[in-house]
Structure 1
Amino acid sequence: MAISTRYSDAIHIMAFIYIYQNTKLSSENIAKSVMTSPVVVRRIMSALQKAALIKTTHGSPNPVLAKDAANITLLDIYLAVENDKPLFTVDHKTNPQCIVGSQIQGILTQHYHEVQSAALGRLERITLQDIIDEIITNYKSGKDD
């Protein structure tokens, strides 16, 4: 099963919109940076718009952030594109006659919930502005990572 990149692409798109706000921001131009299709960019931007994180005008290549980047958290973006999708899923097809198979689902569900709560709590403390600042700092210092 492939792991979705919608979330990281959404953060990428929002940072791109902010950094290149004074240029033509068509889905084609954004897609070149994300290295995906303009259709994927438009789908992600639609989710971001529905979550009131960006504003777009139909037919105009001029999306803008709907609020200050310092007031948009990575959790906001995650919820916009992933709809609170679990980070981990438990295999529900285990053998109930087996010691491991009969216990693993409940145990993993509990631990996965704890990990997800911690991860989402951390995402709530990182802003889009933090990401943008790191991008600009790394770019200016010549870092490739």
Structure 2
Amino acid sequence: MQVSTKFTIALHVLLAVKYFEKDNKLTSDFLSASIGSNPVIIRNIMSQLREAGIIDIKRGPGGMRITRDLKDISFLDIYKAVETNGQGELFNFHEKPNPNCPVGKRIYPVLDQSLLAVQEKFEEALQDHSLEELYERLD
């Protein structure tokens, strides 16, 4: 299992937004310079965070702001915003196991319960951490 860089980029975006909100206009170009990533990638992640209600983006001089207290934004909120593409599933099954194979025809139900338990523990762990704890460590 591997979580893509979108998750850590989203964390970086949100921390930078909070850190620089008073002194800088927060654009994708500004954030991409901090993150070391392409502004298009940053815009895509910003869009996902906006769709999840984590940030608000105003065109022009309005800039960007975080919509709620950092303590109220969990790692799970951010993960779901940028990683799951609305599906919410941590594990994806291969599409065409052989239905004539004794393992292939039963693999989905055999894996399903165990993988669901793993996902639940993973999500519980993400829920236990907030953006606030990261922000406090910046100083």
TM-score band, normalised by shorter chain: 0.7 to 0.9
**Which of 71, 95, 98 in structure 1 is aligned with 2:101?**
98
Give 1:21's aligned residue: 21
Consecutive unaligned residues of structure 1, counting only runs of 5 or more, are 138-145
Give 2:36's aligned residue: 35
Secondary structure in 2 aligned to 1:56? strand
Task: With the length of structure 1 as denominator, give the TM-score of the two structures.
Answer: 0.80
Identity across matched positions, percent: 30
**RMSD of equivalent CA atoms:** 2.1
Consecutive unaligned residues of structure 2, counting only runs of 5 or more, are none
Secondary structure in 2 aligned to 1:48? helix
Check 1:3–1:71 CA distance in 2 against 1; reply closer, same or farther (3 A cut). closer
The amino acid of 1:16's aligned partner reads A
Task: With the length of structure 2 as denominator, give the TM-score of the two structures.
Answer: 0.83
Encode CA deviations 1:25-66: one digit per residue, 9 max, x unaligned. 221110122222112211211221222211221013631211
The CA distance in 2 between the partners of 1:23 and 1:56, in whole Å, is: 17
The CA distance in 1 between the partners of 2:127 and 2:29, in whole Å, is: 30
Contact 1:14 1:65 in 2 (8 A): yes
Give 2:6's aligned residue: 6
1:67 maps onto 2:31 in alignment: no
